[in-house]
């Protein structure tokens, strides 16, 4: 892609999507620009990387976004839940909002299911990576595998599962609210971010596209 002043700002496009359709707008944006989700959660390039949208598992679970990346000997699997960008997150009395509390509970349900059905969900993820990957970086048709020969679907391959909730707006976050949010991450150490994380990465891509000579850290964020 050649740098061009006519390129539409990804950050502006995302802001519009969030203001018009909330988390559904964010999901549609990620479907169109999966690289934003990739660099929002993967800090390194890795061997093989995939982004999935609305991945179902079990009879009642669905992750809004799944980002998978591999490196020597392991896979990282990021399961992401999107909640409204205008949610209050923490009530005035310091308790979590209804949506935030529900998201935390849902993440724990996901973890319980994955611990009990690890082989099945790996197989399903592998199938989806071959047929519904949004990044389109791997066109060979084979099952997801890293350079070390570690297949995603193989139960003997080490997999690191990470969980994330994206909710609220950065402008509404005080240090006290952020501290309170992190207290609710629980034993799973759930990553909790505002949509500012996506907006930061989108802005990084805008800088990179405006001039390829600029040194831009795509993963850089205030979150």
**What local confidence, expressed as pLDDT, does residue 116 receive?**
96
- The yes-or-no verdict on residue 5 having pLDDT over 60 is no
- The yes-or-no verdict on residue 6 having pLDDT over 80 is no
> Angle of helix 118-131 relative to helix 98-116, nearest 10 degrees?
100
pLDDT band at 214 (very low <50, low <70, confident <90, very high): low
Q: Is 137 helix (H, G, I), strand (E, B) or coil?
A: coil
Q: Give the model confidence (pLDDT) of 8-51 as tens digits.
A: 899 999 999 999 999 999 999 999 999 999 999 987 777 899 99
Q: Which residues contact 137 (CB under 8 A, 6 or more apart)?
A: 48, 49, 50
Q: Give the model confidence (pLDDT) of 66-123 as tens digits.
A: 999 998 889 999 999 999 999 989 998 989 999 999 999 999 999 999 999 999 999 9
pLDDT band at 153 (very low <50, low <70, confident <90, very high): very high
H helix or E strand, kind and range, residue 190 = none
> What would the two tokens of residue 55 be?
């991945």
- Residue 74, judged by CB atoms within 10 A of its CB (0-12, 13-18, 19+), counts as middle
* Kind of pairing between the strands at 74-82 and 49-57: unpaired
> What would the two tokens of residue 89 be?
């997150």
Q: For residue 139, give Cα distances in angstroms to 72, 78, 142, 143, 214.
A: 21, 22, 8, 11, 30
Q: Which residues pair with 165 in a beta bridge?
A: 81, 192
DSSP code for 186: G
Q: For residue 71, give Cα distances in angstroms to 20, 121, 149, 214.
A: 38, 20, 10, 27
Please, what is the average pLDDT of the chain?
Answer: 90
Q: Is 80 helix (H, G, I), strand (E, B) or coil?
A: strand
Q: For residue 15, give Cα distances in angstroms to 103, 199, 215.
A: 23, 8, 24
pLDDT band at 213 (very low <50, low <70, confident <90, very high): low
């Amino acid at each position: 892609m050649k740098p061009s002043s006519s390129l539409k700002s990804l950050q502006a496009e995302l802001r519009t999507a969030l203001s018009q359709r909330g988390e559904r707008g964010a999901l549609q944006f990620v479907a169109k620009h999966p690289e934003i989700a990739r660099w929002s959660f993967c800090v390194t390039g890795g061997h093989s990387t995939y982004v999935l949208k609305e991945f179902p598992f079990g009879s009642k679970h669905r992750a809004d976004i799944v980002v998978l990346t591999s490196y020597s000997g392991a896979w990282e699997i990021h399961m992401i839940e999107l909640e409204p960008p205008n949610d209050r997150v923490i009530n005035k009395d310091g308790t979590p909002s209804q949506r935030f509390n529900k998201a935390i509970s849902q993440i724990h349900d996901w973890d319980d299911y994955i611990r009990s059905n690890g082989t099945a969900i790996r197989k399903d993820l592998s199938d989806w990576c071959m047929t519904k990957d949004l990044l389109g970086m791997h066109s060979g048709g084979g099952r997801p595998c890293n350079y070390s020969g570690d297949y995603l679907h193989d139960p003997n391959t080490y997999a690191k599962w990470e969980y994330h909730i994206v909710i609220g707006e950065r402008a509404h976050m005080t240090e006290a609210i952020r501290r309170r949010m992190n207290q609710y991450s629980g034993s799973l150490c759930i990553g909790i971010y505002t949509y500012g994380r996506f907006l930061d990465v989108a802005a990084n891509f805008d800088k990179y596209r405006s001039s390829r000579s600029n040194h831009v850290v795509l993963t850089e964020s205030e979150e």
